[in-house]
Amino acid sequence: MEKRGVSTMWAAGLAAALVAGQASAATYVFRETAGYNTGGATVRSDDPSTGTTGAVTPPTDTIIAGTTGTIVLHGFFEFDLSAIEAAAAGNPFTIDSVTLSLRTSSAAGSGATALNFQLSLLGNNLDFDESTVNWTNAPGGPGGVAGTLLSSESFVPNAVNQTRTFGSTSAFQSAVADVLANDPDNTIRLFLQTESGSGFARFLSDENATESNRPTLTVNYTVVPEPSTGIALAGGLTLLAGLRRRSR
C-alpha cells in the first residue's frame, strides 16, 4: 500500500508541475563559426558606391564606425536568431537579456577621448547584402537609417585589442523578441555609429581568423512549456495511477 501511495504522489506531483509549466532558462551565443554565418560591413560617405569591411586603409577583417574629418563611417551587423525559435519547439519564451560584444582591432582607431557609440536597428531591420551594400544603397537611404536605439557604450576609440560590450536594455530585448515573432528569416540587423564628436573605432569582423574575436551576440531567454501539454500529460498520469491502484 505504501509503495502504491508513493507512486500516486509522484504522478500527482509531476502532473501538477506539468500543468504549471516548468520554465527553462537558457543562453545562446551567436558568433561566426564553420556552421553558422553572420554578416557585417562598413559604408562610408566619401566612397558612396563601394562597400567595405575595412577603414581608411582597410584590413579585410575590420568594421569601422565613427567619423574622421568630414568622412562618416557606419558599421552594420546581422545575426540569424532561428536557433532560439527551434530550441523553444513551439513553446512561448521570454527574452531576458541581450548583449553585443565587439573586439577592437590591433590597428588603433582615431581619437584619444571617449566617444559615445550607439547601437540601433538598421533601417527598421531592413536586409542588407554585405558583399554589395554601400553608402548609396544602404537600407532605408544613403548611409543606412538608424531605427530604435538599442544600446550605447562610451570608450576611447584608439584603444586596441579590447572587448567592448553593448549592454542589455529593454529596447534591445524587445527588438530581439520582435524579430523572432515577426521577421520571416528571424534575422536582426544592427547599425553602429557615433553620436557626436570626431573619431572612429576599428572592430574585428566575422572574417577575423580567431573565432573568439568575432562579433558576438549573447541572448539569455526563458522557455515556458504550453499549459495544454502539461494538462494532457497530467490527465494521462492520473489515469495511470488509478489503474495501478485498481490492479492491485
Statement: residue 8 has pLDDT above 60: no
Q: Quick: pLDDT tens for 16-75.
A: 333 456 889 999 999 999 999 999 999 999 888 876 644 344 456 899 999 988 899 999
Grid cell, residue 41, equals 560591413
Alpha carbons 234 and 136: distance in angstroms, whole number: 59
**pTM beyond cutoff 0.85:** no
pLDDT of 238 reads 44
pLDDT recorded at residue 226: 76
**Residues whose CB is less than 8 angstroms from the CB of residue 114 and which lie 6 or more positions away in sequence, other chains included:** 154, 155, 156
How far, in Å, CA of 39 to CA of 78, rounded? 5
Confidence label for 78 from pLDDT (cuts 50, 70 and 90): very high
Measured between alpha carbons, how far is 182 from 200 in angstroms, rounded to an integer? 34
* Residue among 123, 99, 109 nearest 31 (CA): 99
Condensed to tens digits (0 to 9), the pLDDT of residues 139-191 reads: 999 999 999 999 999 999 999 999 999 999 999 999 999 999 999 999 999 99
Given a cut of 80, is residue 120 above it in pLDDT? yes
- At 204, the amino acid letter reads L
Tell me, what's the pLDDT at 132?
87
pLDDT score, position 19: 41
For the segment 181-203, the average pLDDT, to the nearest whole number, is 93
Share of the chain above pLDDT 70, in %: 79
Residues 135 and 133: their CA atoms lie apart, in Å, by: 7
Query: What would the DSSP string read from start to end of 1-48?
Result: -HHHHHHHHHHHHHHHHHHH---EEEEEEE--BTTB--EEEEEETTST
Spell out the long-range contacts of 235-238 with Cβ–Cβ below 8 A and sequence spacing 24 or more: 235/15, 237/11, 237/12, 237/14, 237/15, 238/11, 238/12, 238/15
Report the mean per-residue pLDDT for the chain. 83
| Rounded Cα distance, 234 and 240, in Å | 10
Q: Beta strand pairing status for 62-68 and 39-44? A: unpaired
Query: Can you tell me whether residue 225 is helix, strand or coil?
Result: coil
- Residue 102: is its pLDDT beyond 90? yes
For residues 124-137, give the mean pLDDT: 91
Indicate the domain borders of the chain: 1-21+226-248, 23-224
